[in-house]
Structure 1
């Protein structure tokens, strides 16, 4: 149970475009080990694309503020939602080294493939949980409950998401999610290990 004193310390606000740089820093902290052998420029580009690709609906994107800093964020979307990361994408391609630019192109193609797979699950009662992360224990739960409450009022009954084997995907089956699909991604797979894209749903 989240203590009442903690709840009083957290303020939930909508995410605005001006928050994107700070959110990118949070995402970069999460992914910095994965990009340990690459440049800061590629880390910036990759994390910027993660954030911008998933910023689908300003009305369904929220941040938890603790002591003036973002402690958690959640982005959601519906079947009709679209993002617009293209300007950032083209800007980054223009400054990256050739090999890193090719990596970013592969990432972009993968995001499109993953989003298309997840979109198959969306309808008038199923929304997409696009991006969710927390740096302060308990703040993410508050934020997700806030989002779910809003979507329940709009008639939504379940959430859908995609994840893959680069993430802690085992979390979802153990927390009430049902796997809906599994797709091998050849461009990220190796002879020793398949890289797998998965979609999940959960009733809310």
Structure 2
């Protein structure tokens, strides 16, 4: 399995994985997929720390694009994301009332990125997103990417996640919980919506 720069043509394959988990409650099926792609693209930064792990063409579901097992995206302090250009172009076909869901996603993502980046030093780096299309490939891309980052001199890896994800996974993979908060806009009557920031030495 080979680590290589991420190919943007593979974004639809990543959306396929997370669409059932991140789908908004409003809009058509086309809009719901658009909103999930918006979330994915919000985690892809303008830098050289965008990776995919490739296997053979026999990977189940790889299709014509072939072989992508997982992807991982990282951000340094000061990096920019150009997703708003894509959003301005692609969102025009949807009504404004549906786009409220996209605005809520953006507000949450921006806040959590800012909270995480504020804890980092200039020689730390943030894992923005990793998605696996095959069991075990998420751990493998993290291991390979972290080796690459360590060789470049990065000191610590940070990330944030929330209670809707398998946040306990990070305890078993060398991460330490450094901050826990509640994001009140997403609270339900029965449960607080918790967010978590983790750190791991590279």
Q: TM-score, normalised by structure 2?
A: 0.84
Question: 3-state SS of the aligned residue for 1:161?
Answer: strand
Aligned to 2:132: 134
Deviations 1:62-90 (A, max 9, x none): 11122123111111111121211102323
Q: What does 1:108-119 align with in structure 2 at a 5 Å threshold?
A: 108-119=106-117
What residue ranges of structure 2 are gaps of 5+ in the alignment? 58-65
Q: What does 1:1-150 align with in structure 2 at a 5 Å threshold?
A: 10-28=1-19, 31=21, 35=24, 39-66=28-55, 67=57, 68-150=66-148
C-alpha separation between the residues in 2 aligned to 1:99 and 1:196? Answer: 27
Question: 3-state SS of the aligned residue for 2:164?
Answer: coil
- How far residue 35 of structure 1 moved from its aligned partner, in angstroms, is 4.7
- How far residue 167 of structure 1 moved from its aligned partner, in angstroms, is 0.9
> Contact 2:3–2:51 (CA<8 Å) still a contact in 1?
yes
Aligned to 2:180: 182
C-alpha separation between the residues in 1 aligned to 2:79 and 2:101? Answer: 26
> Contact 1:14–1:58 (CA<8 Å) still a contact in 2?
no
What residue ranges of structure 1 are gaps of 5+ in the alignment? 1-9
> Contact 1:127–1:160 (CA<8 Å) still a contact in 2?
yes
C-alpha separation between the residues in 2 aligned to 1:141 and 1:166? Answer: 19
Question: 3-state SS of the aligned residue for 1:200?
Answer: strand
> Contact 2:7–2:52 (CA<8 Å) still a contact in 1?
no
Aligned to 1:7: none
> Contact 1:57–1:75 (CA<8 Å) still a contact in 2?
no
- How far residue 104 of structure 1 moved from its aligned partner, in angstroms, is 1.1
| Over 6 Å off, 4+ runs | none
Question: 3-state SS of the aligned residue for 1:72?
Answer: strand
